[in-house]
Amino acid sequence: MQGADQVQVSGVEALNERVLRGVLGWLQAGERCWLATVVSTYGSSPRPIGSLFAFNPLQGTLGSLSGGCIEEDLQVRLASKADGPAELPILLRYGVTQEEQIRYALPCGGELQVLLEDLRPELGLVAHFEELLGALLRRQPVVRLVSLVNGARSLKVDPRATFSCDAELLCHPLSPAHRLLLVGAGEVAFYVAQFALALDFEVTLCDPRESFFKNWTLPGVEAFQCLPDDLIRERFHDAQCAILALAHDPRIDDMALLEALGNTEAFYIGAMGSKTTSLARRERLAELGLDEAQLARLHAPIGLPIGSKTPAEIAISVLAHVIAERSRQRKHAAAEMAESNAGEIRSGCQVIPSSSKRKANG
């Protein structure tokens, strides 16, 4: 349950990035559109805080806020405003009454507050979204600021920023999409890639072995016939990345793990194999120079213990573990932030006293 006192943005990076790309395309084409952001939830809610939804009367919708009823209500509201005057960002609340919860198909007791922005194809707005998407493309987390007082928009870099919105300002930290590197083109990798695409990961595969690589075909997955260390160094080193060693060849897997454990901030690093194989791998990696702290980051055997046997079952186990670890690390980071800022909510843009927390978050 997401209560009003909990401001925790879940993994919506890839979907939000698609919405932002659509908004930029519409503005560049000279088309007016609206952008809605989930800014607070109370009780159960269909979408997490930070989720984006965009509407263009000429092109339709992107993203989502709920099961569809709130999106439909917004489209009805906005269709008549397509030729109207520009409006400042406004806050809309859904699910305040039981009648609204039923009408908008919100879960029992659920409330949702949305910030709605009227976006017109002006040079300043186009530049704003170009800069925002450019930062995400460079794998740079960025904070988007929107004034509800005068409609001003800006960006800043602040790794300590947390999501907040009150009657004056939206502060929305945005991160690049999560990337998943699969090392080894086997059957398990095939199913992991399929499921990961459905989970909105950007998926890449590498395998230097021609006999494995030449039979790999899966649309949506970027594939390289190469050794993994340089690829990891160049593209899979930040905290939005997961690296899975699935080659069943220690010459390849160990090369990937040495680089991943020794030189990246990847949130998940795992290797497939039995307990005996995993123990031998840890001993080899220690002999190659990794220390205890670095080896402690390795998940091996990979995946959750669900009794998986087939490649598809193993893939489910692996991705469940990846998602669980991502969630655990986010909660840990949020707890550390709350402890360091005891008595106040630090937005990264302003400091809101704890007494106004309920107002700011829903």
Residues 192 and 127 in one domain: no
Determine the average pLDDT of the residues in 217-239. Answer: 95
From 129, 146, 177, the end of a domain falls on: 177
Residues 141 and 194 in one domain: no
Owning domain of residue 297: 179-329
At 18 the pLDDT is 93
Q: Is the pLDDT of residue 264 over 70?
A: yes
Determine the average pLDDT of the residues in 58-76. Answer: 85
Residues 294 and 213 in one domain: yes
Q: Is the pLDDT of residue 8 over 80?
A: no
Determine the average pLDDT of the residues in 219-244. Answer: 95
At 43 the pLDDT is 63
Residues 80 and 220 in one domain: no
Residues 218 and 152 in one domain: no
CATH number at residue 269: 3.40.50.720
Q: Does 5 map to a domain?
A: no
From 154, 177, 200, the end of a domain falls on: 177
At 320 the pLDDT is 96
Q: What is the mean pLDDT of the chain?
A: 85
Determine the average pLDDT of the residues in 64-71. Answer: 78
Residues 313 and 197 in one domain: yes
Provide the domain count of the chain. Answer: 2
Determine the average pLDDT of the residues in 109-126. Answer: 88
Region of poorest pLDDT, from 273-282, 327-336, 337-346: 337-346
Determine the average pLDDT of the residues in 121-146. Answer: 95
Of 21 and 14, the structure prediction assigns the larger pLDDT to: 21
pTM for the structure as a whole: 0.79
Region of poorest pLDDT, from 9-18, 99-108, 219-228, 307-316: 99-108
From 137, 162, 177, the end of a domain falls on: 177
Of 178 and 330, the structure prediction assigns the larger pLDDT to: 178
Q: Is the pLDDT of residue 94 over 90?
A: no
Q: Is the pLDDT of residue 249 over 70?
A: yes
Q: Is the pLDDT of residue 342 over 70?
A: no
Residues 48 and 138 in one domain: yes
Determine the average pLDDT of the residues in 339-351. Answer: 46
At 41 the pLDDT is 82
Determine the average pLDDT of the residues in 124-137. Answer: 96
Q: Does 341 map to a domain?
A: no
Residues 133 and 183 in one domain: no
Residues 170 and 230 in one domain: no
Q: Within 10 A of 356 (CB to CB), how many other CB atoms are there?
A: 12
Q: Does 286 map to a domain?
A: yes
Residues 101 and 40 in one domain: yes
At 98 the pLDDT is 54
Q: Is the pLDDT of residue 214 over 70?
A: yes
At 73 the pLDDT is 84
Of 103 and 65, the structure prediction assigns the larger pLDDT to: 65
At 70 the pLDDT is 82
Residues 115 and 223 in one domain: no
How far is residue 122 from each of residues 24, 28, 80, 86, measured CA to CA in Å? 11, 9, 21, 12
Q: Is the pLDDT of residue 1 over 50?
A: no
Residues 185 and 278 in one domain: yes
